[in-house]
Amino acid sequence: MIRLLAFFLLGLLAQSRAEETWDVVRVGRVDYVTLASFLKFYGLKGSEEVNPQRSFDLTGSSGSMNLSVDSREMRWKGARYWLSHPVRQVNGVTLLPRVDLVKTFDPLLRPNAEIPKQPLLGVVVDPGHGGGDQGTRAARRLNEKDANFDVARRLVRLLDKAGIPWVLTRNRDIYVDHADRSKKASDRRGYIFVSIHFNEDSSRETTGWETYALSPQYAPSTSSGGTLIGDEDEIWPGNQFDHQNFLLTQAIHRAAVLSKSNAPADRGVKRARFKVLRLARAPSVLVEGGFMSNPREAALLKTEEYRQQVARWIFEGILAYKRSQEAPEESARLKVAVTETPQASPAKLEGVPDFRSKADVSDAAVAPGGAGQPTPVAPGVSRPEIPKTVSKTNPPVDSSAAAERNGIKTKENPVRKAQSGELEIRKAIPVTPGKTE
């Protein structure tokens, strides 16, 4: 009897150890986890055998996602998201970027797990630009700075009605320094920072809504095309809120692009190192609520109804985020654990590896042709052999996004990138014919 019990316990131990294991694989300079360990950990339905020519679905208790090999594009419950690096397939093994495991997938699949809640006590509303800084300009005298300000005023009226305290970073047409804007949020405990902008593109055809969270440490910005450009290692004050930044950003994004009426085209939840996002010591988001360079969206933005609609979408997103920070922690955790893998022990939910510091990473692993020295890994993480075929795919450096460091937005220009980059990188940038992204 005792022997039987011992066997049973040993069996349980072996099972839970297996479930806590992440298979980490290095491709070039980027760490990946295997799709198999991802499926197992989150109890998702989906095959680990993936056809690289087609997109694939993974379904869990809280929703389903759609991914494609060699693409950074991800769809989650009907909305579009951009991963930091493309999904890879090496020797038939499908791989997901490790930084996205921690900073994108985990907040979506376990929004209430482990990270302390930050109850929302107020909102710093930031109408972008002002004074001599006009921002984007549409035809027929519509300035971005004015549209931003008008939407901001409409938003604070909605917040007022809901009893949510707010502060504007500017209450008239003046220029306010980025640092001073962010400071308004840093100075107020429990406030979030919401920056309102409108977009422009060299093509008048480009339309739609994109919503930005600060790029996590070690993650390239979306505009970099998935390559590491050298500014990723730095950590900014805003990075301590990565989890909340992302939840807030996607809440606002979803409120707009999944709206039942007038929904703008979905350009995705993106990441960037905009100065206001870097500096705010508070959960932060930057909204690009449409293209003033597109005649149709510019015409819409000239109507009060549409500007009110934009303000309402942002407001609804803020409310959804607020609720997410009030939800009890246990419920969602159990939901993920129980519905999909009833046999699993709850202990496995503690096992998402922290994204470890680059200082731990041995350069030898990047050297062409060789697996190099074994790299130290976080506890509970096992590291299989690095496939030799992929250790040469070290992405070239693209310096174009360096301007972001100075708070200057760089526009995505995949066409130019595709021409300058090697085949590997061209494949990494999803280009839809007839679309400008």
Q: Given the rule CB under 5 A, which residues bind Zn ion?
A: 128, 135, 197
Whether 337 and 344 have beta carbons less than 8 Å apart is answered as yes
Under DSSP, the state recorded for 104 is: I
Whether 284 and 195 have beta carbons less than 8 Å apart is answered as yes
Q: What is the C-alpha to C-alpha distance for residues 252 and 148, in angstroms, rounded to an integer?
A: 16
Residue where the block lists tokens 């609609």 = 309
CB of 200 to Zn ion, least distance (A): 8
Between 144 and 398, whose beta carbon lies closer to Zn ion?
144
Between 216 and 289, whose beta carbon lies closer to Zn ion?
289
CB of 197 to Zn ion, least distance (A): 3
CB of 177 to Zn ion, least distance (A): 15
Under DSSP, the state recorded for 130 is: B
Ramachandran sector of residue 32 (left: φ over 0; alpha: ψ -120 to 50; beta: rest):
beta
Q: Which of 253, 260, 370, 378 has its CA nearest to residue 316? A: 253
Q: What is the C-alpha to C-alpha distance for residues 77 and 28, in angstroms, rounded to an integer?
A: 31
Between 110 and 129, whose beta carbon lies closer to Zn ion?
129
CB of 413 to Zn ion, least distance (A): 18
Q: Which of 54, 64, 60, 43 has its CA nearest to residue 87? A: 54
Residue where the block lists tokens 């579009």 = 80
The residue at minimum Cβ distance from Zn ion is 197
CB of 128 to Zn ion, least distance (A): 4
Q: How many other β-carbons are positioned within 10 Å of the β-carbon of residue 341?
A: 17
Whether 165 and 321 have beta carbons less than 8 Å apart is answered as no
Between 198 and 218, whose beta carbon lies closer to Zn ion?
198
Between 197 and 348, whose beta carbon lies closer to Zn ion?
197
CB of 183 to Zn ion, least distance (A): 19
3-class state of residue 285 by DSSP? strand
CB of 283 to Zn ion, least distance (A): 20
Between 112 and 199, whose beta carbon lies closer to Zn ion?
199
Between 133 and 329, whose beta carbon lies closer to Zn ion?
133
CB of 217 to Zn ion, least distance (A): 25
Whether 221 and 404 have beta carbons less than 8 Å apart is answered as yes
Between 80 and 197, whose beta carbon lies closer to Zn ion?
197
Q: What is the C-alpha to C-alpha distance for residues 378 and 362, in angstroms, rounded to an integer?
A: 14
